[in-house]
């Protein structure tokens, strides 16, 4: 056990767990994300010993697979209770709540929520949810077809994190220890030989900015095998990943034909993975909608204006030369044509140069202590609601009056994200040294926005590569 392992276990005795590269071998054939797996392992563990019989029994009884025959069991009159991914939809015309469970074949229109359950305020949330659902089959009465009725639902929220305790815990770590701690929480080994410097580790942590900062929009291009898909698909139930395929405005924002919100208003962040393979049925319409949303955090549906705090991150592969540098110096040419609109690109706050990140190797897999993924994701989600970090950033920065607003907003938002991740315990500008703030918050944020501006200047004469002369106060 390393010194960091001992510290994590001592400071977070209930929230931490020991993780090994093969810890998920119990879940062979079971399609659930890391936050579910961690919760189950913790539930059936005692002093790091796993009750394998109890774990396997729970999985068999409550986590369905393709071979579970849930539909047949419902038709046979069984009352089914499972832990699953459920999508709730409200039907304005009928006044009913409907649900679907895609992983077991219960489609839209085949599931209804009981009227009693639907009336319980705050229980059901539009869109995707994880939870324990109890349902039964309702026989057709001649007027309508049979359907699965949900009679009980318990949302999967096993932790209500004590944010203040988390912040106080930060004070017991050095900056370097805390950076390593966060990498552990991402399920990677901070002591891997693949990590060459603190700057590289900070670049790795940059992927978490969209988890903690609302309405933050990023682009990451990286070679294959650097783990970007895993992070955005497994660390939080509050994010949604789109992997290739066709995207419509209705799917992203709001489906007026079904009166249901799309992906963006339903989640905290949306990652567009394998972005080269994504297409749009109406590119100009998507461009216009994204420009408005990314600028204002709102979108129009009919005569109504709706808002969302979800950020976007584009994830794509990029080809490198023998020196591990991009073959094409115009990075945005790697994006789909719909995302090559210059005004749209300008609305992205920062660019992550993923070719500086290590490829995932066996040595990079965590074998030590970290926070339970579900607990960590709840902490990250809660941090999004804390707006005082942005106020601290503004107090720490000296911004010229003629500074470009988009550049300024981008730097402030990314600085705020870094501050939330690295210094969650600060409550005023006096709580952090200007030197440290500049090194691990301001400089990385400034550089990532600068890449956006440099790339725009290279392809459009309307833009220059000059960034505002923003300074950190208290430094000469």
* 321 found inside a domain: yes
pLDDT single digits (tens) 208-254: 999 999 999 999 999 888 888 889 988 888 999 998 888 888 889 98
In a domain, 412, yes or no: yes
Residue 295 domain-assigned? Answer: yes
Q: What per-residue confidence (pLDDT) applies to 422?
A: 98
Global pTM exceeds 0.75: yes
Note the pLDDT of residue 47.
64
Q: Do 355 and 209 share a structural domain?
A: yes
pLDDT, average across residues 351-379: 92
- Which of 78-87, 191-200, 422-431 is predicted least confidently? 78-87
pLDDT the model gives residue 52 = 86
User: Are both 285 and 396 inside the same structural domain?
Assistant: no
pLDDT of residue 239: 92
pLDDT band at 48 (very low <50, low <70, confident <90, very high): low
**Residue 476: is its pLDDT beyond 70?**
no
413 and 295 in a common domain: no
What pLDDT, on a 0 to 100 scale, did the predictor assign at position 37? 85
What CATH number is given to the structural domain containing 140?
2.40.50
Q: Are residues 347 and 210 in the same domain?
A: yes
Domain count across the chain: 3
Residue 459: the pLDDT is 85
Q: Each residue of 60-105: pLDDT tens digit?
A: 888 887 677 888 888 888 999 988 889 888 877 777 888 988 888 8
Q: Is the dihedral of CA 127, 128, 130, 136 positive or negative?
A: positive
Is 207 inside a domain boundary?
yes
Full domain range(s) for residue 85: 70-155
Q: Higher pLDDT residue, 61 or 271?
A: 271
Q: Which of 155, 186, 205 is the last residue of a domain?
A: 155
- Judge if 223 and 141 occupy the same domain: no
Q: Are residues 465 and 418 in the same domain?
A: yes
Confidence class for position 157, pLDDT limits 50, 70, 90: confident
To the nearest whole number, what is the mean pLDDT of the chain? Answer: 89
In this structure, the answer to whether residues 200 and 341 fall within a common structural domain is yes
How high is the pLDDT of residue 160?
79
- 179-194: average pLDDT: 95
Check whether residue 232 and residue 355 sit in a common domain.
Answer: yes
Q: Are residues 309 and 233 in the same domain?
A: yes
Residue-level pLDDT at 312: 96
Question: What CATH number has the domain bearing residue 245?
Answer: 3.40.50.300
Give residue 431's pLDDT: 95
């Amino acid at each position: 056990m390393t010194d960091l392992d001992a510290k994590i276990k001592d400071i977070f005795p209930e929230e931490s767990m020991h993780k090994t590269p093969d810890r998920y071998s119990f879940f062979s054939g079971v399609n659930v994300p890391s936050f579910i797996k961690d919760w189950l392992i913790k539930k059936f563990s005692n002093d790091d010993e796993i009750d394998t019989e109890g774990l396997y029994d729970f999985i068999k009884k409550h986590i369905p697979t393709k071979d579970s025959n849930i539909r047949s069991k419902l038709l046979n009159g069984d009352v089914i209770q499972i832990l699953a991914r459920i999508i709730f939809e409200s039907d304005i015309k009928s006044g009913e709540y409907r649900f679907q469970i895609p992983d077991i074949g219960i489609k839209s229109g085949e599931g209804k929520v009981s009227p009693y359950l639907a009336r319980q305020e705050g229980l059901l949330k539009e869109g995707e949810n994880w939870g324990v659902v109890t349902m039964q089959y309702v026989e057709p009465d001649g007027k309508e077809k049979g359907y699965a009725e949900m009679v009980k639902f318990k949302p999967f929220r096993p932790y209500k994190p004590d944010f203040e305790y988390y912040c106080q815990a930060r004070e017991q770590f050095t900056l370097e220890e805390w950076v390593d701690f966060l990498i552990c929480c991402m399920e990677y080994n901070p002591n891997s030989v693949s990590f060459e410097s603190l700057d590289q580790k900070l670049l790795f942590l940059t992927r978490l900015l969209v988890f903690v900062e609302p309405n933050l929009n990023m682009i990451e291009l990286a070679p294959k095998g650097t783990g970007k898909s895993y992070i955005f698909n497994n660390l939080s139930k509050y994010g949604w990943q789109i992997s290739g395929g066709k995207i419509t405005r209705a799917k992203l924002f709001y489906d007026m034909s079904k009166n249901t919100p799309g992906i963006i208003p339903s989640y905290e962040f949306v990652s567009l993975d394998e972005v080269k393979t994504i297409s749009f049925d109406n590119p100009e319409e998507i461009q216009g909608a994204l420009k408005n949303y990314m600028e204002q955090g709102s979108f129009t549906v009919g005569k109504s204006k709706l808002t969302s705090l979800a950020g976007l991150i584009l994830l794509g592969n990029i080809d490198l030369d023998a020196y591990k540098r991009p073959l094409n110096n115009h990075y945005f040419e790697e994006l789909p044509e719909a995302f090559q609109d210059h005004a749209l690109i300008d609305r992205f706050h920062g660019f992550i140069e993923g070719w500086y990140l290590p490829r995932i190797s066996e040595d990079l897999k965590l074998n030590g202590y970290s926070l339970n993924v579900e607990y960590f994701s709840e902490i990250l989600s809660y941090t999004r609601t804390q707006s005082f970090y942005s106020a601290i950033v503004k107090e720490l920065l000296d911004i010229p009056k003629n500074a470009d607003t988009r550049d300024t907003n981008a730097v402030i938002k990314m600085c705020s994200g870094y501050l939330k991740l690295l210094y969650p315990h600060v409550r005023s500008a006096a709580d952090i040294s200007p030197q440290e703030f500049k090194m691990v918050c301001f400089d990385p944020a400034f550089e990532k926005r600068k890449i956006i501006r440099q790339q725009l200047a290279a392809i459009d004469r309307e833009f220059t590569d000059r960034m505002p002369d923003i300074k950190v106060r208290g430094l000469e």
